[in-house]
Amino acid sequence: MASENLETKRWWIAVGAIIIQLCLGTVYAWSVFTKPLMATHGWSLPQVQVAFMICIGVIGIAAAFGGILVDKKGPRFVATIGGLLFGTGTLVAGLGDQLGNIWIIYLGFGLIAGLGNGFGYVTPIATLIRWFPDKRGLVTGLAVMGFGAGAFFMGRIAPDMVNHYQTVDNAGKMIGSGVSTTFFIWGVIFFVLVTGSAQLFKNPPQGWTPQGFAPATSKSVSAAASLNLAEALKTPQWWMLWSMLFLNVSAGLGLLSRLSPMAQELLSKTIADPAKLAIAGGWVVAISSIFNGLGRLIWAWLSDAIGRRWVFVIMFITQCALYLYLPQIANITIFTIIACYLLACYGGGFATMPAFAADSFGPTYIGRVYGTMLTAWGAAGVAGPLVFAQLKGTQALYVAAGLLAVGFVLAILFKRPTTRDA
């Protein structure tokens, strides 16, 4: 009976993890807020993009620290703190827009919400890896699918909310972007959903495994033979996985940071109304974000069958080819299809890497080992959007292709480190 209760409990934890990741993933829809903020306050694109860059950079650092806290304080404590910070940061960002102070947006969306996002992101992954040794790729894929899908809801809903709440003066000039009210509403939603779902989290009993589960030691490192963080950092394989994550995320985040404006540039030939153009661009973000989420599930599930390394080999080489082809695209439908696949690979990297790390270094210290590896996400959060903001469109796409080519080489060369299991 106790075993049946634990079986039920782990699936409820998975549900809570998906809800948390849905909320946290809304940060990926930042591009739908860039034009309203620029139009209202006269800020440049690089100024507005700094908020997104700070947020992603802080997420990586917070995830590393949060991974250590998960191992020490338990997942419920860390996820609850993450929810409180993420909700607060969103509210503060709304205040920044209301006051016309970009530094407050940096503080709220960038620093505070970024901290909360990092704490909240790493906790479900570290917890699910321990509860689901039998479905490691699938269940982490389900969780981070929620993170990718979160941008779909924000990308679809936020433009309508911003347009609904924006205000104009008697001359028809926009004096309030509507972003502040949108952030205030979502901040409260994040408080309730993230902190509420966090209460479901708990580590499994020591030594517990699902009934009938027999680990395949040839494919992964056992709990008893797990490498701690210090041991993992001494292996070249940890740094290879860090680099692979950094390269994949840099390309994907760069595209995400400019996806709505790039789509609007193509659509501007047929749509003249700025409001309709913004909504149409939001639709491209929303549709591609669905595949960001689906890619996380599909690639992670596929990695259970063909192996984590081969998933990365395929993703890197196909993305490289498509980034080289993208500058030639003039049709919005083809552009959207390619964006959907690229974001599916971007999300797939996030979904597959936790299981890749656990297979390579074991599950016992995965909070620290993978949490620290997520500093690659933070570094990529600066590098990717910076490249796409500073370079012209074609140049940025070619740089992204070059990064992915390097990732392909690393994936081809990767071999599991030698451990006590070997």
Lowest-confidence pick of 92-106, 168-182, 287-301, 339-353: 168-182
Output 96 or 156, whichever has higher pLDDT.
Answer: 96
pLDDT band at residue 342 under the 50/70/90 scheme:
very high
Residue 107 token pair: 């503080």
Domain map (residue ranges) of the chain:
2-203+226-413
pLDDT given for residue 1 in this prediction: 41
Quick check: 264 pLDDT over 70?
yes
With tokens 């994949």, the residue in question is 248
Q: What angle do CA 292, 70, 104 make, to 5 degrees?
A: 65
DSSP assignment string, 1-70 = -HHHHHHHHHHHHHHHHHHHHHHHGGGGGTHHHHHHHHHHH---HHHHHHHHHHHHHHHHHHHHHHHHHH
- The continuous run of DSSP H or E covering 168 comes out as strand 167-168
Quote the mean pLDDT of the chain: 85
Output 210 or 22, whichever has higher pLDDT.
Answer: 22
pLDDT band at residue 421 under the 50/70/90 scheme:
low
pLDDT band at residue 420 under the 50/70/90 scheme:
low
What confidence tens digit (pLDDT) does each residue in 5-31 have? Answer: 887 888 899 899 999 999 998 997 888
Output 223 or 194, whichever has higher pLDDT.
Answer: 194
DSSP assignment string, 370-422 = HHHHTHHHHHHHHHHHHHHHHS-HHHHHHHHHHHHHHHHHHHHH--PPP-TT-
Q: How many CB atoms lie within 10 A of CB 388?
A: 28
Q: What is the pTM of this model?
A: 0.75
CATH code of 2-203+226-413, in short, is 1.20.1250.20
